[in-house]
A = this chain, B = another copy of it.
Amino acid sequence: MNFSIAEENYIKAIYHLQQADGNVTTNELAAELKTRAASVTDMLKKLKAKKLLNYEKYQGFRLSAEGRKIALSIVRRHRLWEYFLVEKLQFGWDEVHEVAEELEHISSRKLVDKLDAYLDYPKFDPHGDPIPDSSGRMAAQKMINLIDLPLNEAAEIVSVGSQSTELLELLRHKNIGIGTVLEVKKHFSFDHSIEIKIKGHPALTLSQQLAQALFVKRM
* Residues of A participating in the B interface, judged by any CB pair closer than 8 Å: 85, 88-91, 95, 98-99, 102-103, 106, 108, 110-111, 114-115, 118
Contact = CB atoms under 8 A, between A and B. Distances in A.
B111 A89 contact: yes
Contacts of A103: 103, 106
Number of copies of this chain in the oligomer? 2
A99 B106 CA distance: 8
A98 B111 CA distance: 11
B102 A108 contact: yes
Contact of A95 (B102, B106, B110): B110
A115 B89 contact: yes
7 contacts: A88-B118, A89-B111, A90-B114, A91-B110, A91-B114, A99-B110, A103-B106
A215 B74 CA distance: 38
